[in-house]
Amino acid sequence: MKIAILSRNPKLYSTVRLVEAAKARGHEVRVLDVLRCYMNITSHNPSIHYRGEDLTGFDAVIPRIGASVTFYGTAVLRQFEMMNVFPLNESVAISRSRDKLRSIQLLARKGIGLPVTGFANNPDDIADLIAQVGGAPLVIKLLQGTQGIGVVLAETYNAAESVIQAFMGLKANIMVQEFIKEADGSDIRCLVVGDKVVAAMKRQGPKGEFRSNLHRGGSASEVRLTPEERATAVSAAKVMGLNVCGVDILRASRGPVVMEVNSSPGLKGIEDTSGKDIADLMIQFIEKRFDAVEIKDKSLTRTRTRGKG
């Protein structure tokens, strides 16, 4: 197979591992800076160009699209899809998961465990908004934030009111969530490939820090998942329509609650902690799905040929 990896930095750990895994399984692989791809959008012959070259012949594409380039990156991915290139994650699924409010609403609609979440626009509604999520302490999140940036823990009512007013004054879109105290500054990252959790790790924030992101000094350790946690992670991935993703879960007293579904999870922490070759599992998934599509296409072609006879 000929595989494209959409990544702005070919030296990133996750990108390097995917290249290694693809080559080890005998595939041709190429890393493309998604912002250097440009498109010719036509009805019958859509194409993608890269540094003056017409990109053709790819069988599959692995999107490693950063949050800051979601709009352009998913547009490029849609163009690959128009050219019948198999995407590891579809553009619509990535866009769905990157919209934090929409993803929470979709998960809630399907009955997935979630923190109580509030969303409002008018400062006059702040008091009721705070009450709806159980009062302080509570968590305030910028809808555009990533890797723990733009996430604030307000420990008192006055602090919560002040922060929310400040964000609203800046016309920033935020959501307010209940604080899961029993999580004690930790969460669980479940790595889902296809219809199962292939690896998991517990991330613990440093002392005094409620955010557990490894980028913010958190530590990772092995963890044994409960059947309910596994089912929750797989269901969340299915709701988002993602074939590969990281599902972040908090252990609440009422059961697992989903904090986020990440469509482009980093591989270093989860591979180092679990000892699993996640990159290889991702390439294997592409092979199986691509082979299944080819078999289906050949079957349809034979059916049409017999019909003409």
The pLDDT score that the predictor gives to residue 145 is 58
Which residues of the chain does CATH 3.30.1490.20 include? Answer: 116-179
Contact 141, 174 (CB under 8 A): yes
24-53 residue pLDDT tens: 999 999 999 999 999 999 888 899 999 999
Q: Is 306 left (phi over 0), alpha (psi -120 to 50) or beta?
A: alpha
Which residues of the chain does CATH 3.30.470.20 include? Answer: 182-266
In CATH, which of 3.40.50.20, 3.40.50.1110, 3.40.50.2300, 3.90.550.10 is domain 2-91? Answer: 3.40.50.20
The pLDDT score that the predictor gives to residue 286 is 97
The pLDDT score that the predictor gives to residue 264 is 95
The pLDDT score that the predictor gives to residue 304 is 47
120-136 residue pLDDT tens: 989 899 999 999 999 99
Half-sphere exposure of 12 (CA within 13 A, CB side): 20
The CATH T-level fold of domain 116-179 is Dna Ligase; domain 1 (3.30.1490)
The pLDDT score that the predictor gives to residue 205 is 76
Distance between CA atoms of residues 51 and 55, nearest Å? 10
Half-sphere exposure of 8 (CA within 13 A, CB side): 10
Contact 188, 203 (CB under 8 A): yes
The pLDDT score that the predictor gives to residue 206 is 72
Which residues of the chain does CATH 3.40.50.20 include? Answer: 2-91
pLDDT less than 50: residues of the chain: 298, 300-306, 309
Distance between CA atoms of residues 219 and 272, nearest Å? 12
Q: What are phi and psi of 102, to 5 degrees?
A: -60, -40
Residues present in the chain in total: 309
CATH no., domain 182-266: 3.30.470.20
